[in-house]
Amino acid sequence: MRKSSPSRATITGAEPQLLVTDINRSCNFFCEKLGFTLIFSYGEPAYYAQVARDAARLNLKSIERTMDREELSVSMTVATAHEIKMLFLEFQSAGVSFHQTLEKQPWGAENFIVKDQDGNLLLFAG
């Protein structure tokens, strides 16, 4: 008789890595403008860091120069349409520059895109 295989493992989160040109500037942007908290910063001078907000964690890795890109680097979601509006207004009042302001998509979701100082596109959806 064959043993049944173990149940499938569940991935409960992801930690996207964003390439940045200045760790300190990027940590300040995420913490001061987007409401994240610095979890750790590594190296002297720092070249790697992690920031978090609620269940989202982002790893920031230093590179020598900025890269030109027009693709999403990371997507983060909130539970409701009300929360996505609240988040948009929070970022707007913090002076964040938007690549795309809050929009309702044809499939019903509402989202907006923030472009950080290194060209990373951050999608927030609800």
Domains of the chain as residue ranges with CATH:
17-125 (3.10.180.10)
| Digit-coded pLDDT (tens) for 78-110 | 888 888 999 999 999 999 999 999 999 887 889
Q: Mean of the pLDDT values across residues 69-82?
A: 81
Q: Mean of the pLDDT values across residues 18-37?
A: 96
My answer on whether omega of the bond before 45 falls inside 30° of 0, hence cis, is: yes
Confidence of residue 37 (pLDDT cuts 50, 70, 90): very high
Give the pLDDT score at 63. Answer: 87
Q: Sign of dihedral through CA atoms 66, 71, 76, 80?
A: positive
Q: Are β-strands 121-125 and 72-77 bridged in parallel, bridged antiparallel, or unpaired?
A: parallel
| Digit-coded pLDDT (tens) for 45-66 | 999 999 999 999 999 999 877 6
Give the pLDDT score at 15. Answer: 85
Distance (Å) of CA 126 to CA 11, 20, 47, 62:
21, 26, 32, 30
Whole-model pTM: value is: 0.73
